[in-house]
Amino acid sequence: MTETVPFEKIGSGRYRIPRHGKMRVDALFYASKEILAGLETEEFASLRQLINVACLPGIVEPALAMPDIHWGYGFPIGGVAAFDAASEGVVSPGGVGYDINCGVRLLASGLDRSDLGAHKKALADALYRLIPAGVGSKRRGEHLAPKELRRLLEQGAAWMVGKGFGDEADLRYLESGGVFANANPDTVSPRALERGAAQLGTLGSGNHFLEVQLVDRIFDRKAAEALGLHLDQITVLIHTGSRGLGHQVCSDYVGTFLKAAPRYGIDLPDRQLAAAPIESSEGEAYLGAMAASANFAFANRQRITASVRAAFEEIGFSPRDHGLRVVYDLAHNNAKFETHRGKKLLVHRKGATRAFGPGHAELPQDYLNVGQPVFVPGDMGRYSFVLVGTDTAMRETFGSSCHGAGRKMSRHRAKREARKRNLIEELGEQGILIRAASRATVDEEMPEAYKDVADVVDVVDTAGIGKKVARLRPLIVVKG
């Protein structure tokens, strides 16, 4: 019989798991009645993972999970944990994930729904042709030489801009300017470099996607105006990460940390939480490799942005016509040194994003009065949301919020349930064009496989750790 997870409601959408057993701190998670029911269905597996995270050395109270919480590798997806190096704090690859700096970038256009009109099918075809997608997808004829790849891993999105893929204006609207300064390519294995050399500018597979969307609701007019969003506007959301390079880095360092943990006297509640002290040689090496992977992901989304612009131009919209500009680019999976509560902490976000409030020094000047943009993708049949960060998030969640809808159905089950349906045809009847490398990808990403992202976002909004700004509905979906 599965042991009960003790938790109590402590406020609107907030639940606390009191410190018990080997937990070093309390845990806090955000949920609605529907989300709680889903957690119960999985026998609270993801909450048990959160409890395990609360057992790690040097963790700062509380261990956190956002309302898109579901079971993951080591940390639950939606997990946030801050560690203090001065108190024997650790770094854990499982707290970042295999897809390092998986993230989302929103582009806003100067086009409205009527402008797209008869061009919709041609645009879907052009995007699918110009942006490689699928398992192991590569760009034919584009293989980065070792010296080029090294510079990219050090410079991130700026390297792509220097090669003519975008301009300096793009960089002003990327989290951390599109570069992690502490990147160290020397700590990235030859196998990881090999896997990444031909994958720049590719989507990959699974839940990665590119969507052309329509702004169909505005919740906060002032914030929407600051972000340059309005009703009936055409936008593009890009969701992908560091591809095979980041995956290999995580694999490499999980193995290294499993060997290192006993040497440092770290008692692991779960082998998937393999960890090493932040200031150890292993910890510093991983952080350098992780930052290099994050820079690859920033560069990857920058290259895709250039391809999106090229697709619009190919079907007849000049740069002046489409006006595609970066609203923001933010990461889901990384560990960053940040100052919270007067201390320098290493904040792990696994399937969670920054949600810095108004006035924060890292925000673009245009957004200082409204807070950091937060993009929360839903499923390909419903909608995604734009939020902004809040002061409450800064106080409660180390400036963090949710990153998506969160799965409620395994990929295997989704494919089994979709077998007798034609999802591409069903979505087409809703006005959503699908371009995908395989039917299997579409089936495993069926809309019903995910929680309703509106429920997730409402929890965030009600709790005050993010504020709703706009809703985006899909018109074109490109998947691997």
The set of catalytic residues is 403
Q: Which residues of 389-401 are buried (b: 16+ CB within 10 A; e: fewer)?
A: bbbbbbebbbbbb
Q: What letter represents residue 198's amino acid?
A: A
Amino acid identity of 422? N
Cα–Cα distance, 269 to 131 (Å, whole number): 41
Distance CA 399, CA 401 (A): 7
Count CB atoms within 10 A of the CB of residue 222.
10
Angle formed by the axes of helices 453-463 and 33-41, nearest 10°: 120
Exposure letters 117-142 (e unless 16+ CB within 10 A, then b)? eeebeebbbbbbebbbbbeebbbeee
Residue 480's nearest CA partner among 441, 448, 439, 451 is 441
- DSSP conformation class of 5: P
Residue 306's Cα: distance from chain center in Å? 20
CA distance 393 to 355: 7
Strand, helix or coil for residue 364: coil
Q: How far is CA 310 from CA 90, 126, 200, 304, in A?
A: 44, 9, 16, 10
Instruction: Give the CA distances from residue 107 to residues 246, 267, 326, 416, 438, in Å, rounded to whole numbers and listed in that order.
Output: 24, 45, 5, 35, 26
